[in-house]
Amino acid sequence: MKKRLDVLKTYKIYIGGKFPRTESGRYYLLEGKDKKPIANICRGSRKDFRNSVVAARKAFPEWSGRTAYNRGQILYRIAEMLEGRREQFVSELKVQGDSTTKAEKEVNISIDRLIYYAGWTDKYIQIFSSVNPVASPHFNFSVPEPTGVVAVIAPEESGLLGLISVIAPVIAGGNSCVVLASHSKPLCAVSFSEVLHSSDLPGGVVNMLTGIRSELLDNFSTHMDVNAVIYCGDDKKESKRIMENSSLNVKRPHIINTRDWTKEKAQDPYQILDTQEIKTTWHPIGI
């Protein structure tokens, strides 16, 4: 019998820089391989989603208004914070079924991936912009701008690296987001919210929900104040539904099929471009 009793963690959700419980009061039980209970996970509701969108919208102008350099520094800081808490994440990944080697590899790549995107914040605009030689007396240029609020349904099979791989490019590009974590591997998402919270990232830029995909899919894709939706998964019925729902307010839908997030080609600047709008300006020149 152990001498000291552990204090079990309550896994809450993360909205507007705060950690509330789900307003619905409902939960689902996360079980380990041997059916041993791991934790009660918040079963996020449509109201949680609605509140998250409000928080994300509120946070968007300030976040997109920061200098690209500042956003890069904050992403780097998130990496610093994650590095400092690696043991916690390795143990959560193991509890959720990974071997030690796999867990450590996943944490390492997660940290490096954050640094990768930290380095893009003040460079992607250069590679995706242009000055266009139009045939009229105009100075004509095209630049990417963040789309706004992005709804993200994170990868089911990768609870940390997959999660970070989809969130990082969204916020590197100046957007705010509402994320539904993996149903079977939600622990790292909640702990990662704590990392975000201690990283100078303004509240509301990332909002993290846990819950049941089928219950929330429609909310994520029909909300009129969401500008883009990212769906990670292979279910054709689900992705079709997402794309149909997106047509309500012409959201940009992005479907990301299951992939090996540990590969280097899983990261690239085009994922930032996915949640950018290209603005082209015709500026009259000449007397």
Choose the stretch contacting another protein; rule: CB under 8 A; options: 116-124, 134-142, 222-230, 276-284: 116-124
| Per-residue interface string for the shown chain with another protein, residues 94-113, x marking contact by CB under 8 A | ------------------x-
Q: Which of residues 39-78 bind another protein (CB under 8 A)?
A: 69, 72-73, 76
**Residues 207/56, Cβ–Cβ less than 8 Å:** yes
Residue 123 found at the interface with another protein (CB under 8 A): yes
**Cα torsion angle, 273, 279, 282, 283, sign:** negative
Least CB distance to another protein at residue 127 (A): 5
Residue 88 found at the interface with another protein (CB under 8 A): no
Residue 202 found at the interface with another protein (CB under 8 A): no
Residue 127 found at the interface with another protein (CB under 8 A): yes
**Residues 143/279, Cβ–Cβ less than 8 Å:** yes
- Other Cβ atoms within 10 Å of 283 Cβ, number: 9
Complex with another protein: residue 174 or 211, whichever CB lies closer = 174
**Residues 255/241, Cβ–Cβ less than 8 Å:** no
Residue 269 found at the interface with another protein (CB under 8 A): yes
CA distance 275 to 170: 6
Least CB distance to another protein at residue 73 (A): 7
Length of the chain: 287
Helix ranges, 185-276 (H): 187-197, 213-222, 236-246, 270-273
By the criterion CB under 8 A, which residues form the site for another protein? Answer: 69, 72-73, 76, 112, 115-116, 118-123, 127, 269
